């Protein structure tokens, strides 16, 4: 296959560690090397082929706002260790990026619902709380808060948020995995069930993990699909839930030295809890340095921008249904009924970074998530 010449326009936003993909006329699945025509710097690329369409993927190092630059993509591998997604058992999938452990997806039948733990920053420090009782010195409240997870407290009167007596469950069935020089992917398939095991929802959770090279961050996208499978499903108005939830490491709690920020400029629980925003960020000290985790919601997500259930004690969750609970007004309701056979979709990007949200340019990361650069294939 011949080399591919590309032209990238940053348009109005600066780009940094920016995932890029472009359809190409032909190609077989395999590695590429993408070279910056000005600096000569190379980056790993990878061509995927799905339903007859070839797509070239790589991570753009950086580009200034309104800058335009040429790149050349050549078939063949560089020296990237890429993303390895390893199913070590039918209960756990490990993910490594650039040769270092990033996270694991836990989905055993003994669990109330699947979750990812740890979530490590670029230095290898974990920014999320361990399971209650597993790490000395961490808080022990809310044992159902498991690092990074998906749950909701009122689906047809089933509590699939807590782990108290009578709670519902998310029962994992299978997963699909892949990994290459640029992106790793893990898709988990599960059912939300009542305490008696009756199915409510079918869940597809796709997670894409990016190798961003030497940038001091980690990045993953989460695309969640929920289908009503046994009649209509009513999501009640409650604050107890999150279609993407994070519990940060105890040292990062805002009740201590940590910091909560959102896309509207809000700082602290008082200014961010129960507010609608496109992203929310939680940062604080961990292992002697400052790290943070941002959750960004894509505009295509149901009821974007979401409300945020974010607390000084370390919780950060997206919740589009708890409108009355957040406003403290029982006369308004965010409840929603999903018709039998219909779907809800939620899309998020998670960025684990150094420093505060401002220092990590989280607003820029959000813009490049929802408005990627323009890429033209020249031949």
What pLDDT score does 2 carry? 82
Who's near 290: CB < 8 A, 6+ residues apart? Answer: 283, 284, 354, 355, 356
What pLDDT score does 90 carry? 97
CB of 320 closer than 8 Å to CB of 348? no
- Residue 172 and residue 105: Cα distance in Å, rounded? 11
3-state secondary structure of 73: strand
Task: Quick: pLDDT tens for 141-194.
Answer: 999 999 999 999 999 999 999 999 999 999 999 999 999 999 999 999 999 999
C-alpha distances (whole Å) from 369 to each of 177, 219, 347, 348, 362 are 23, 11, 11, 9, 10
Query: Does 4-77 carry CATH code 2.60.40.10?
Result: no
3-state secondary structure of 251: helix
Angle at 324 between CA 321 and CA 325, to 5 degrees: 85
Fold annotation for 83-370? Beta-galactosidase; Chain A, domain 5 (2.70.98)
Strands 315-319 vs 92-97: parallel, antiparallel or unpaired = unpaired
Other beta carbons within 10 angstroms of residue 287's beta carbon come to 13
3-state secondary structure of 239: coil
CB of 184 closer than 8 Å to CB of 17? no
CB of 222 closer than 8 Å to CB of 244? yes
Which candidate, 335, 312, 311, places its Cα nearest to that of 322?
335
Task: Quick: pLDDT tens for 211-269.
Answer: 999 999 999 999 999 999 999 999 999 999 999 999 999 999 999 999 999 999 999 99
Other beta carbons within 10 angstroms of residue 28's beta carbon come to 9
C-alpha distances (whole Å) from 99 to each of 76, 93, 294 are 20, 15, 23
C-alpha distances (whole Å) from 230 to each of 109, 202, 338 are 22, 10, 11
Take residue 81 and report the two structure tokens written for it.
């260790």
- Residue 264 and residue 308: Cα distance in Å, rounded? 12
What pLDDT score does 77 carry? 80
Who's near 256: CB < 8 A, 6+ residues apart? Answer: 250, 284
Other beta carbons within 10 angstroms of residue 120's beta carbon come to 21
- Residue 180 and residue 46: Cα distance in Å, rounded? 7
Q: Could you state, in order of their start, the residue ranges of all structural domains in the chain?
A: 4-77, 83-370
This model's pTM is above 0.75: yes
What pLDDT score does 118 carry? 99
pLDDT tens series, the chain, 379 aa: 689 999 999 999 999 999 999 999 877 899 999 999 999 999 999 999 988 899 999 999 999 999 999 999 999 987 789 999 999 999 999 999 999 999 999 999 999 999 999 999 999 999 999 999 999 999 999 999 999 999 999 999 999 999 999 999 999 999 999 999 999 999 999 999 999 999 999 999 999 999 999 999 999 999 999 999 999 999 999 999 999 999 999 999 999 999 999 999 999 999 999 999 999 999 999 999 999 999 999 999 999 999 999 999 999 999 999 999 999 999 999 999 999 999 999 999 999 999 999 999 999 999 999 999 999 999 7
Query: Count of residues for the chain?
Result: 379
């Amino acid at each position: 296959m011949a080399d591919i010449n590309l032209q990238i326009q940053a348009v109005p936003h600066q780009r940094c560690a920016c995932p890029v993909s472009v359809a190409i006329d032909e190609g077989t699945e395999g590695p590429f090397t993408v070279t910056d025509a000005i600096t000569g710097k190379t980056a790993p690329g990878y061509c995927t082929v799905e339903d007859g369409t070839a797509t070239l993927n790589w991570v753009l190092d950086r580009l200034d706002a309104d800058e335009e630059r040429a790149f050349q993509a050549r078939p063949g591998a560089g020296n990237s260790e890429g993303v390895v997604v390893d199913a070590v058992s039918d209960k756990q999938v490990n993910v490594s990026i650039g040769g270092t452990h990033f996270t694991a997806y836990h989905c055993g039948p003994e669990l109330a619902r699947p979750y990812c733990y740890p979530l490590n920053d670029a230095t290898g420090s974990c920014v999320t709380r361990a399971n209650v009782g597993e790490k000395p010195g961490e808080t022990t409240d809310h044992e159902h808060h498991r690092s990074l997870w998906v749950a909701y407290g009122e689906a047809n009167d089933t509590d699939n948020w807590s782990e108290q007596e009578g709670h519902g469950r998310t029962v994992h069935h299978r997963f699909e995995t892949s990994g290459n020089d640029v992106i790793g992917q893990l898709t988990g398939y599960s059912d939300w069930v009542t305490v008696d095991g009756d199915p409510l929802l079918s869940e597809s959770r796709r997670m894409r993990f990016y190798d961003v090279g030497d940038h001091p961050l980690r990045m993953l996208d989460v695309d969640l699909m929920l289908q009503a499978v046994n009649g209509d499903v009513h999501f009640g108005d409650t604050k107890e839930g999150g279609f993407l939830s994070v519990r940060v490491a105890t040292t990062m709690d805002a009740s201590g030295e940590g910091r909560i920020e959102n896309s509207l400029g809000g700082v602290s629980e008082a200014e961010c809890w129960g507010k609608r925003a496109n992203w929310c960020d939680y940062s604080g000290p961990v292992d002697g340095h400052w790290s943070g985790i941002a959750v960004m919601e894509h505009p295509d997500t149901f009821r974007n921008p979401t409300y945020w259930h974010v607390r000084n004690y370390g919780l950060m969750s997206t919740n589009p249904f708890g409108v009355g609970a957040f406003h403290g007004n029982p006369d308004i309701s965010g409840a929603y009924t999903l018709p039998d056979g219909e779907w809800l979709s939620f899309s998020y990007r998670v960025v684990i970074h150094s420093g505060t949200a401002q220092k990590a340019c989280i607003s820029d990361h959000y813009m490049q998530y929802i408005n990627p650069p323009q890429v033209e294939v020249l031949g």
